[in-house]
Every structure is written in C-alpha cells, then in structure tokens.
Amino acid sequence: MISENDLLLIGLAVALVPNEQKKLKRKRSKWVKLWKLNREKLSHVHLINELRLEPDDYRNYLRMDESVYTELLELVSPLLKKEDTIMRTAITPHERLSTTLRYLATGRNYEDLKFTTRISAQALEKIIPETCRAIIVVLKNKYCKFPKSEAEWIQIGSDFNERWQFPNCLGAVDGKHIRIRPPSGSGAYYYNYKQFHSIVLMGIANSNYEFIMFDVGTNGRVSDGGVINNTCFYKALVEGQLKIPAVNERNNLPYVFIGDEAFALRKDFLKPYNERELNPERSNYNKRLSRARRIIENVFGILANRFRIYHTEIGISVESIETVVMATCVLHNYLRKKNPNRYMEISADEEDKARDVLPSLQRGFGSRRFPEDAKQVRELFLQYFKNN
C-alpha cells in the first residue's frame, strides 16, 4: 500500500518536471538583432527619400509617382497606424505601405525582403496581408465599382463601340492561373492542366483597360468555363439580377458580355465560332470579337508586368494570396485613373510574355450544344458585322 506521504512526494515530483524542462530550454541570447534595431537608420525608406530627386527611379521602385503614393498613404494610414510600446517603436504606415508595394513590385519573399526593410519575416507575414486589406478597403468602392444601373451598363456598351467597334459589349471576360506553393496536405487540389499549382483570377474589363469585376480563389484544378460558375457575377447573370438593358433600339442588338472558347455561349454571353465551323462571315465575326476581347488579355498583361509577384510561385497562405491578388487588381484601376499616360497598355511582345506568366483557362474540347436563343443572338452580331 502506498502511504499518503508517498503520494504527496510523487505529486511534488510530477509538478517539478515542467520546471526542470524549462531550465533545459535554450535561453534567448538577445531580444532582437542589432541590425533590426537600427531600422530608423538603415531601412529602405531613406532610399525612397533620395529617389524623390529621380522621379523615374521613384516610379520604378514603388510603381507609382510620388504624388500618387502620398495620396494613397494618406488614405491607408488610419487603418495601419499602430501605437508605440515601452519595448519598441511601432512600424509606421509609410514603412508598411512602401514595403507592401515593394513586395508586389518584385515578388521577393519575406526572408529576402527583411534585409532591405529591417522588418522581420514574421512581422512581414502579418504586415503585408494587413496592408493589402487596407488598400482594398480604401480603394475598391471608388475605383472598382460594379455597374448597378442600366445607365452604367449602357455607357460601358457605348464606350466599347466607340473605341473597339463592338456594339453593346458590357465587358470582356477571362480567367488566369496564379502560380502558388500549395498548402501542405492539399495533394492535387490546386494542380492545373499546365502542370503547376494555382488559383484562378477571373476578371471582367471595360473598354478602358479597367476591372469592373474580379474574383479570385477557385482552385486551379477546376478547368474550362466551370470556374466562372463559382462567381457571384455569373450567378447574378443567370438569375437576371444585373439590370442589363433591353435591346438597343439604335442597332436592334442585345447587350452582351464576350469571352473566348472556354466559356459557354448564352444569349447574354458571346464567344467565337469553332474553327472547324468557319466561313468568311464567321471569320470576320471572330476577328471583331477577338479585337474587343483582347482588352482583358491586356489588363492581365499589365498586371504581370507592373507587379512582378505574378512571375513567382507565391509562397504564402492561400487566404493571403487571395488578398494580395485583389490588392493588385484594385491598384491597377487606381493607377489607371491617376496615371493614365504612364500606366498604359502593353506592347504585343510584352503581352505574349505575360500570357506565359499567367496562363489562360483550359479550353473546351469538341462541340457543345448551345441554346437556340444564344445561337440566334450570335447570328445577329454576325450579320451586323457583315454590314458594318
């Protein structure tokens, strides 16, 4: 029989074990490394101050003019400002924003970026997604407005006709694969037909190379036009909730979105004729549609060239990747408004390179059966282009 004293001794021994284990833990030699303590003296913000004397270099470093950056900093500062503590000085909104823009512009990983910013990789892991969310909050409602009235849709259709000679076009639609490092244990969930892991960025652009809608997050394994079915836009389109105008009385044509072979033909969504079904009239229709649809290709090309993060395998959490991608889309529209002469469409060579960086969705194989009303609408546009 174990006596009461023996039980007390055993309990005391068990209680002392954790304390002994704590003694075995390696003691931290220093609270923070010296080169990080000198952030105020050695951070890249000093380089940014010097670049103000060289506007082209400043623009190359942060992907925007100083005046545009200053305005953006004023907008996000209330969301990014932190209080100093007894232990350390808070990282300023200027440091947070400039670091995030540099991350988007270069695609450098956190371990690399920490040396120029003097901010630890662990802190960057929190700061960059947080700053991207702030950018989205302050810019999206003003610079990425989705049309909510017939008048707004009519204006987009008019602009497409005036600039690209495609009447009643409500937007050019396409999707691209964003290369990612897959989460542990995800298997082939993100593995796409191009044989790398990705999530999909779906976008709709107006005639001025601006997003009117973007959706990101569908796993790359989903191919063909099935990706668009996951978007709120497509669900609203199918349910007739977009307030799309009726037939344009000036040309007797309906209002439509346009896409490539990856999407299904609908009465409100046009695509090209299959190459096996072409004749001179259909070839002319395909050319006119392709010319207008290239706008969204150019938009993705601009993204890939201005934000070099798209040239890398993004190695952060999928949730953070979605936030980062949305921030670049919002910044794209913001810069198109603020610097239209400097933030312009790209050349054909640049677009071809960007297409390799951001591959399109997988195209469908074989013929599909489309609704008769969809075929009739496409035929109406074919006849219009034949006579105009």
The model's pLDDT over 166-179, given as tens digits with 9 standing for 90+, comes to 999 999 999 999 99
pTM: 0.86
Indicate if 135 and 206 belong to the same structural domain. Answer: no
- Average pLDDT of span 253-266: 93
Between residues 104 and 47, the one the model is more confident about:
104
Taking every pair of Cα atoms in the chain, the longest distance, rounded to a whole number of angstroms, is 106
How far apart CA 226 and CA 336 sit, in angstroms, is 30
Summary mean pLDDT of the chain: 87
Lowest mean pLDDT among 19-33, 168-182, 185-199, 234-248: 19-33
pLDDT band at 341; cut points 50, 70, 90: confident
Indicate if 137 and 162 belong to the same structural domain. Answer: no
How far apart CA 242 and CA 153 sit, in angstroms, is 9
Indicate if 128 and 77 belong to the same structural domain. Answer: yes
Domain termination residue (choose one: 108, 142, 176): 142
Q: What's the domain count of the chain?
A: 2
Domain termination residue (choose one: 107, 142, 177): 142
Whether the CB-CB separation of 294 and 260 falls below 8 Å is answered with no
Task: State the residue range of the domain holding 181.
Answer: 144-362+369-387
- Give yes or no for residue 352 having a pLDDT over 80: no
Indicate if 303 and 379 belong to the same structural domain. Answer: yes
- Give yes or no for residue 152 having a pLDDT over 90: yes
Indicate if 223 and 274 belong to the same structural domain. Answer: yes
Indicate if 152 and 75 belong to the same structural domain. Answer: no
Indicate if 49 and 128 belong to the same structural domain. Answer: yes
- Average pLDDT of span 44-52: 88
Indicate if 116 and 180 belong to the same structural domain. Answer: no
Indicate if 262 and 196 belong to the same structural domain. Answer: yes
Per-residue burial over 304-318, b if 16 or more Cβ lie within 10 Å, else e, is bbbbbbbbeebebeb
Packed helices 280-306 and 318-338: angle between N→C axes, nearest 10 degrees: 100
- Average pLDDT of span 15-22: 54
